[in-house]
Chains A and B, each alone.
Chain A
């Protein structure tokens, strides 16, 4: 069990560029979550998957954001036409079916200049 991993750990991009983040959950965890955390605040829910099905999306997830989990294993979160307000830590978490606890990855810190 290697834990939840996220790549890259840091990303600096210019406003208007597209970025993509990857999350690898703990193997056999069928639920995967994306959260966004800004400085001094708690994580805000963005979306979650059960296997490959995206079951819920937050209103925070504008049409510039898209997430996929094509084979029910890793997931990607893409942000198109980045804005300065997208600067945040993007956290991924996973849960085994029926589990209570969310296991978090280290996050990807995005800075939009």
Chain B
């Protein structure tokens, strides 16, 4: 069974600064996807960024980028130029390429301070 661990229950960052959220996972499989989802307060979850395990290049989406270390089974999210709207709970998730379900971590609550 796959597991996903987010070791930082809460984090805060000043507006315009950079913050990194950590995620580690455990699997014996080789083909999978990793995701970061954002869940703003009282709003629905949306995808922030995804990474295919076969790709060595780290994914980037505007201010969001990941540091994917496959051997270490680590998948951190970096948010640059943090904005107030980035305040949310962030979930790391794992999915095998041939499976339907995703396995989620317990989340990191990020607060961006003005």
Residues of A at under 8 Å CB distance from B?
4, 31, 33, 35, 40-45, 48, 50, 55-56, 58, 91, 100-102, 104-107
Residue of A nearest to B104 (CB): A42
Q: How many residues of B are in contact with the other chain, CB < 8 A? A: 24
Q: How far is the CA of A40 from the CA of B91 in the complex (A)?
A: 11
Q: Name which of B11-19, B69-77, B80-88, B95-103 contacts chain A.
A: B95-103
Type the 1/0 row for B44-63, where 1 means its CB is closer than 8 Å to any CB of A.
Answer: 11110010000000000000
B101 and A48 within 8 A (CB): yes
CB distance from A94 to the nearest CB of B (A): 11
Decide: A107 near B44, CB < 8 A? Known: A48-B101, A100-B50.
yes
Decide: A55 near B100, CB < 8 A? Known: A100-B33, A101-B50, A104-B45.
yes
B-side contacts of A42, CB under 8 Å = 4, 6, 91, 93, 104-107
Residue of B nearest to A50 (CB): B100
CB distance from A100 to the nearest CB of B (A): 6
Which of A40, A56, A58, A102 contacts B47 (CB under 8 A)? A102
Q: How far is the CA of A7 from the CA of B37 in the complex (A)?
A: 23
B-side contacts of A35, CB under 8 Å = 104
Q: How far is the CA of A45 from the CA of B94 in the complex (A)?
A: 12
A-side contacts of B44, CB under 8 Å = 4, 104-107
- Give 16 A-B contacts (CB < 8 Å), ordered by A residue: A33-B100, A35-B104, A40-B107, A42-B91, A42-B93, A42-B106, A45-B101, A45-B102, A58-B101, A100-B50, A101-B35, A101-B47, A101-B50, A104-B37, A104-B45, A107-B44
A43 and B91 within 8 A (CB): yes
